[in-house]
Structure formats: C-alpha cells, structure tokens
Structure 1
Amino acid sequence: MEKLLCPSMMCAQFGNLEKEVKDLEEAGIDIFHLDVMDGNFVPNFGMGLQDIEFIVKQATVPCDVHLMVNKASDYISKFAEMGVQIIYVHSENDCHITRTLQMIKDTGICSGLAINPGTSFESIKEVLTLVDYVLVMSVNPGFSGQKYLSFVDEKLKQLCEKKKQYGYKVMLDGACSPERIETLSKIGVDGFILGTSALFGKEKNYQEIIPELRQL
C-alpha cells in the first residue's frame, strides 16, 4: 500500500526554512504537516503564523494544519484562505464538532478529525461521514519526542477496518519510528506524521531517509 509521508515542520530547522522545504520536497514527501497550538488546549505553543504562511507559499505539495486550539472554528476561514488543503480539528473541546467539520468542507478543502490517545472510536463514529482524514494521536499532543502509547493500536485497527465504509484515510501522529511505520502500514494506516523518531535530526539526509521509509 502506498503510504503518505508527512514531515512535522515544527521539528524542522527554522534557521533556513526555505532550504528545509526544498530538500524535503526533493526527497519525495507527500504533505507538509503544520502544528498550531495556543498554550491552552495543549500546554505548548506551536508554529508561528508567519512560518506557516511561508511554508504554504513555498510548497508545491499539499499542506495540512493541525489546530490544537480552543475555538478552532474561529480559524477555519483564515487557514483555508492561506491555501492549506487539509484542516484537522479536535472533537474533545468542541461540542459542535459536526458544525466545525462542515465549515471546513464548505470551504472546499479536506476535513480532518484529530483525536487524542484517550478518545475512543465509539465516541467519534457518528461524525465519520463528514471526515476525509482521521489523525490518531499516539502521544499526548503538544510536544515532540514522547513515548508511543501502544494502547492506541486497537483504535487504529478499528478505524482501518471502517475506512472504506466511511471514505476516510487513517493518519498517525506521534513517535512514528521506522519499525512502527512498517508494522502499521500492514494493518491499513495510510499516512504518518514524521518527526524526530524517523526523519529529523538524523545522520542521513532527507533524500536517503524518505525512500527508505517508502519501502517499508
């Protein structure tokens, strides 16, 4: 199965962001993953708006935005106008998540539902008809370099079993090591957000790493 490889740009080298974007694209990545955090929904602050705007303008492949913020619906139109192709929102802090997902779809871009490790498949299945992508967090959102929470594997299996019925793709975010990419690709996970476990801060360059991950 062809997998989507999506670098988490909060892990990139911001001293030369233009080169990072170019090198990652030349290596063959599929989607740039851009994290937005407000310090409230998660205990950290994510990428700056100017950095996101720069990456979206430079990129020739799709960009997604993962909104780890309160009142995500307030920011849908801004990021849609910026040119991102996928917007992920969380259900855990949105009592009107169906309305927010429909807002995303109404802009003409893809809707994504991001779910924390403790969020069950049963609690989201009613909204899956509105979702193009499901982003499963295998770590508590907010920080890179965390340990993989293996209990999410059962939820991943449930989502993979139902993806053809509902028409979404299953994505994994958090501690995506090469070994885990190989294992979870086999159960039907469609894409992986790549951070320090597989891509950034390695001795090999991106042009070496991405083809290796592609072959797993």
Structure 2
Amino acid sequence: MEKLLCPSMMCANYGNLSEEVEKLEKAGADIFHIDIMDGQFVPNFGMGLQDVEFICKKATIPVDAHLMIENPGSYVEKFAKMGIKIIYIHPESDVHPTRTLQSIIDAGATPGIAINPGTAVATIKPLLPFVKYVMVMSVNPGFAGQKYISSVDEKIKELIELKEKYGYEVMLDGACSPERVETLSKMGVKGFILGTSALFGKGKPYKELLDGLRAL
C-alpha cells in the first residue's frame, strides 16, 4: 500500500530549519506535520507561528497543522491563510466540532480529526462524514518520544473497517517505528507522522530512511 510519510517538524533541527525543509523534500517527504500546542489542552507548548509561516513559505509539499489547542475554530482562518493545507482538530477541545470542520473547508483547507488514546471511535463517529483524514494518537498528545500505547490497535482496526464507508484515510501519530509502519500499512493505515522513532536523530541521511520506510 502506498504510504504518506510525514516528518514531524517539532523534531527537526531548528539550527537550520531552511536546510531541514530542503533535505526532507529532496528525500521524498509527502507532508510536513506541524504540532500546535497552547499549554492548556496539552501540558506543553508547540511550534511558534513564525516557524509555521516560514515552513509554509519554504515548502513545496503540503503542510498540515495538528491543533492541540482549546477552541480551534477561532484559529482556523489564521492557519489557512498561512498556507496550511490540512487542519486536524481534537473533538474534545471544541464545543461545535462539526461547525469547525466546515470552517476548515470554507477556508480552503482539508479537514481532519485527531483521536486521543482514551477517545472511543463511537464518540467521533458522527464526525466521520465531514473529514478526509482521521489521525490516531498512539501516544498521549503533547510530547515527543513516548512509548506506543498498544490498546490503540483495536481502534485502528475499527477505523480501517469504516474508512471505505465514509471516505477518509487513517493516519498514525506517535512512536511510528519502522516495524509499526510495516505492520500497520499492510493493515490499511495510509499515513505516518515520523519523529524520533524512525526519522530524526538517526545519524543517517533522510533519503535513506524514507526510502527504507517506503519499501516496507
């Protein structure tokens, strides 16, 4: 199955962000993934708006934004204007998630939802007709380098069974090791957010690592 390989730019080398973007694009990355955190919905702060704006201007491939923030609907237009092509929201953080998903479409971006490890598929099922991507969090959101929570495997299977009916793709964010990329892509997961488990800090060229993941 063809994969979407999406570097998590929170893990990139900020000493030379411009070079990182160029290297990752030349290596064959499909989508740049940007984590936005407000210190409230998750106990951490993510990438700054200046970094987001720079990556959007520099990149020639799509850039997505994972909004781990309260009231994401208030910021949809801001991120869309920056050039973000895919916007993920957490339904738990929004009083009216359907309205926010529609506002993403109206702003010219593609809507997605992110599902925490403790969120059941049944609770987000009414939102599935409105999204193009469902991103399963296999770690608790907010921090890089966490261990994979194996209980999400059943949730992934359930979402894969439903995806043809609703027309979305399943993505995975968190502890995406090469072994997991291989296993879950064969099951039907389309995209993988790549951090320190498979891409960054490995001491190997990005192209070698991405080519290896794509060949699995």
| Separation in 2, partners of 1:2, 1:215 | 9
| Separation in 2, partners of 1:203, 1:54 | 25
Instruction: Map 1:5-20 to 2 at 5 A.
Output: 5-20=5-20
SS in 1 for 2:16: helix
SS in 2 for 1:135: strand
Q: Which amino acid aligns with 1:137?
A: M
Are 1:73 and 2:73 an aligned pair?
Answer: yes
SS in 1 for 2:213: helix
TM-score normalised over the length of structure 2: 0.99
Identity of matched residues, % = 67
- In the TM superposition, residue 108 of structure 1 has moved relative to its aligned partner by 2.1
- In the TM superposition, residue 93 of structure 1 has moved relative to its aligned partner by 2.0
Q: Deviations over 1:1-30 (max 9, x none)?
A: 100000000000000000000000000000
| Separation in 1, partners of 2:29, 2:76 | 25
TM-score normalised over the length of structure 1: 0.99
| Separation in 1, partners of 2:19, 2:151 | 37
Instruction: Map 1:35-184 to 2 at 5 A.
Output: 35-184=35-184
Q: Deviations over 1:191-214 (max 9, x none)?
A: 000000000000211011000000
- In the TM superposition, residue 77 of structure 1 has moved relative to its aligned partner by 0.2
Q: Which amino acid aligns with 1:24?
A: L
- In the TM superposition, residue 141 of structure 1 has moved relative to its aligned partner by 0.3
Q: Which amino acid aligns with 1:104?
A: I
| 1:207 aligned partner | 207
| Separation in 1, partners of 2:168, 2:109 | 14
| Separation in 1, partners of 2:118, 2:153 | 12
SS in 2 for 1:122: helix
For structure 1, list consecutive stretches of 5 or more residues without a partner in the other structure: none
SS in 2 for 1:114: strand
Contact 2:72 / 2:93 at 8 angstroms: preserved in 1? no
| Separation in 2, partners of 1:157, 1:120 | 12
| Separation in 2, partners of 1:108, 1:169 | 19
Contact 2:71 / 2:95 at 8 angstroms: preserved in 1? no
For structure 2, list consecutive stretches of 5 or more residues without a partner in the other structure: none
| Separation in 2, partners of 1:33, 1:140 | 17
| Separation in 1, partners of 2:43, 2:131 | 26
- In the TM superposition, residue 47 of structure 1 has moved relative to its aligned partner by 0.3
Runs of 4+ in 1 over 2 A off after TM superposition: none
| Separation in 1, partners of 2:88, 2:102 | 12
- In the TM superposition, residue 161 of structure 1 has moved relative to its aligned partner by 0.9
